[in-house]
Structure 1
Amino acid sequence: MTAIVRNKEYKNSSVKVFYKDIFELTKADLVGFDAVISAFGTFTDVTFPLYKKVAIHLINLLSGSSTRLIIIVSGAGTLLVDDKGTMAMDTPDFPHEYMGVARAAAESFFEPKTNRTYFGCM
């Protein structure tokens, strides 16, 4: 197992740690992995567009490979609440203060993906 992080202060003796910003990753950096799990998260209006940008970047890096991509979506805004496809963020009771991150996550969720891209909720 390998953790790829940009924070050089991060230490973990249980895994190999590779320090690199996500947008500096190359296809060569990800060769040999069975799966890449993205737990990217940000919580400001200015940085919300990065959710979609990260998803597109990782999908492009893994294009043509057999490596699976798993993207962990922050929050529950994209969870379906009925059999009509209504997302939690589209209900009247969804908290307004979480709408920005929910919309950003939804945009990355619906970004075109390969049959080896999976989304999970955290």
Structure 2
Amino acid sequence: MCASLQEYLQGRSPHEQLRVAGDAIKNMAEVCFQRAELMIQGWENRYNSEGPVLDEDFLAGMIQQTMFLDVSDLCRQPKSRKSRQGFTGNPVESIVREVSKDAVLGFVDELESGDSVDLSMFC
């Protein structure tokens, strides 16, 4: 290849020789680059510990992107419910009543002091 390039360059102007030689070197560098890329890709595919590399388009026909499911036949209108009746259990007398502020503060003081708490003040 170099011999045929030298034959072609004979008789040309120095400017033309440099331009053609530069183009030739550029083309040879691109060929070397492409060969190196193929070699590296082949090596990576052969020694890839994660498994084979698949192109994005390889699985395109096997993957479902969207789905529509009509569930209207599975749904039914709710039945009307009977009106709720009030509480039917036995009435219980409430123990809720008002407690003075002093009684609550005394209870809090007993809790903070760690003494036994007397709940009788609330009953």
Q: TM-score, normalised by structure 2?
A: 0.16
Larger RCO (alpha carbons 8 Å, 6+ apart): 1
Q: Please identify the structure whose Cα radius of gyration is greater.
A: 2
More strand by share: 1
